[in-house]
Amino acid sequence: MDFNTRVVAAEAVATPHNAVSPPIFQTSVFAFEDAEAVDQLLSGARPGYSYSRGGNPTFDVLAGLIASLEGAEAAVVAASGTGALTAAILTLAPAPVRLLVSREIYGGTVGLARKVLAPLGYPMEWVDLHDPAAVAAACDGPPAILLAESISNPLGRVAPLDEVIRSAHAASVPVMVDNTFATPYHARPLSWGADVVVHSLTKFIGGHSDLMLGVLAGSPDRMAAARDVVATAGFTPDPFACWLALRGARTLALRMERASANALALAEALQGHPAVRRVYYPGLASHPDYPVARSLLSRGFGAIVSVALDGGYEAVQQMVQRLRLVRFVPSLGDVATTLSHPKVASHRELSLEEQAAVHIEGRVVRISVGIEQAADIIEDFRAALS
């Protein structure tokens, strides 16, 4: 079945009593007839749930839907995207290894690597995924895992991840791919050979800025280990947030179809604007990764457009103050168009030199394009920029 169908198909959210909307198991714990019954469940001899930190039916309905969308055999839900990234790293590398981190990556991921994992003995090394020799050289050495994004935050870089993954695997380096920007609507990194795919469900999959959640997906063995990490480290989500994510996810295909079409229209409109120095959108022929994006992504190029303004940070401030429809929101993936400023918000974890190396400058804003009428979004920017 096509993605558009799978995302709403009833089988994806199989629930007790054929409830059409999945029930919310808002319970921290489950009761048992006797000690023997608990022993059987905890030893794996019979299926079920005991304590929600270790599992809950509402988590599993959501995990099942995400696994189906990513083409994964299994998935595990976590309390946030960052919790899912941490669980993925600890699953792939329970003892310290080098963390090879893509040069273009979400600042929060850099914070996790630097502030939490480096002090535990996981040294972080930058790697340029657009340079095959650099990837091979980085992978060659002591044990490592590689962290990449299918579409990078914030400048929409799309590295040839199929080749990167082959090269990493040749050196026995597992690869995890953060698929938050692309969503499984546009990209399925497991089909390129990725070992684990990770999402912040807080963004497009939730889609309504009303929850915080994450998910990781991969092989059944890895996900059994990940479930243990999530339960034992306490990265456990909340059942109600999972229900909200399920509700949001059912319209993912429709939302991404509209939002990515709007993003392309906005990117094209802004590209010619005299106040705009540069537009970063992988669906524009002017983007350096346009050929790779066309070969790796499907059904469009996502809903994030970043823009560098000629007038620098001062022009950004003025534009943001003059926008009427589009609000400054330091997140992304809402049904409404929002914008943020990577240098002061999502990427403040990077040093000035690190920011400069990947063009995160005062003049750059990141726009998360929503599902409004494209003409209204474009007009809001035209009026503010004028």
- Taking residues 175 to 204 in sequence order and writing x for each that binds ligand PLP by CB under 6 A, - otherwise, the string is ---x-xx------------------x-xx-
Closer residue to ligand PLP (CB): 68 or 200: 200
Cβ-based nearer residue to ligand PLP, 60 or 149: 149
Query: Could you tell me how many residues of this chain bind ligand PLP (CB under 6 A)?
Result: 16
Using CB under 6 A as the binding rule, the residues of this chain from 32 to 51 that contact ligand PLP are: none
Q: Please tell me what DSSP assigns to residue 17.
A: G
* Distance in Å, CB of 342 to ligand PLP, minimum: 11
Residue nearest to ligand PLP (CB): 81
Smaller CB distance to ligand PLP: residue 149 or 195?
149
**Helix orientation angle between 312-322 and 374-385, rounded to the nearest 10 degrees:** 130
Q: Taking a C-beta distance cutoff of 8 angstroms, is the pair 328, 346 a contact?
A: no
DSSP letters spanning 171-186:
TT--EEEE-TTTHHHH
Tokens describing residue 206:
């939730």
Q: Which of residues 107-136 bind ligand PLP (CB under 6 A)?
A: 108-109
Among the residue ranges 57-65, 102-110, 127-135, 242-250, the one whose residues contact ligand PLP (CB under 6 A): 102-110
Name the residues annotated as catalytic.
53, 106, 178, 203
Q: Which is nearer to ligand PLP, 48 or 330 (CB)?
A: 330
Site residues (CB under 6 A) for ligand PLP, limited to 133-152 = 149
| Residue among 276 and 364 whose Cβ is closer to ligand PLP | 364
Smallest gap from Cβ 180 to ligand PLP, in A, equals: 4
Cross-strand partners of 175: 146
Say which DSSP state 249 is in: H
Give the one residue of 3, 106, 204, 281 binding ligand PLP; rule: CB under 6 A.
106
CB of 209 to ligand PLP, least distance (A): 11
Helix%, strand%, coil% for the chain, nearest 5: 45, 15, 40
Q: How far is the CB of 102 from ligand PLP (least distance, A)?
A: 11
End-to-end CA distance of the chain: 47
- Closest separation between CB of residue 271 and ligand PLP, Å? 24
Q: How far apart are CA 150 and CA 219, in angstroms?
A: 19
Asked if residue 214 binds ligand PLP (CB under 6 A), the reply is yes
φ, ψ (nearest 5 deg) of residue 216: -130, 150
Of 52, 102, 150, 153, the residue at the interface with ligand PLP (CB under 6 A) is: 153
| Footprint (CB under 6 A) of ligand PLP, residues 292-331 | none
Across the chain, the runs of DSSP E, i.e. the strands, are 74-78, 98-102, 124-127, 144-149, 175-178, 196-200, 214-218, 276-280, 304-309, 327-328, 338-340, 364-368
Helix boundaries (H) for 127-278: 132-139, 161-170, 183-186, 220-233, 239-249, 252-271
Closer Cβ to ligand PLP, 188 or 269, answer by number: 188
Residue 81 or 218: the one with the smaller Cβ distance to ligand PLP is: 81
d(CA 140, CA 113): 20
Question: For 224-228, which contacts have Cβ atoms below 8 Å and span 24 or more sequence positions?
Answer: 224/74, 225/91, 226/76, 226/87, 226/88, 226/91, 226/196, 227/54, 227/55, 227/76
Contacts of 316 (CB under 8 A, 6+ apart): 309, 341, 362, 363, 364, 365
Quote the CA–CA distance of 270 and 383 in Å, as a whole number. Answer: 12
The window from 105-113, 134-142, 261-269, 347-355 that contacts ligand PLP (CB under 6 A) reads 105-113
- Listed ranges 38-46, 173-181, 263-271, 317-325: which one lies at the site for ligand PLP (CB under 6 A): 173-181
Site for ligand PLP in 60-89 (CB under 6 A): 80-82
3-state secondary structure of 339: strand
Give the interface with ligand PLP as residue ranges (CB under 6 A).
80-82, 106, 108-109, 149, 153, 178, 180-181, 200, 202-203, 212, 214
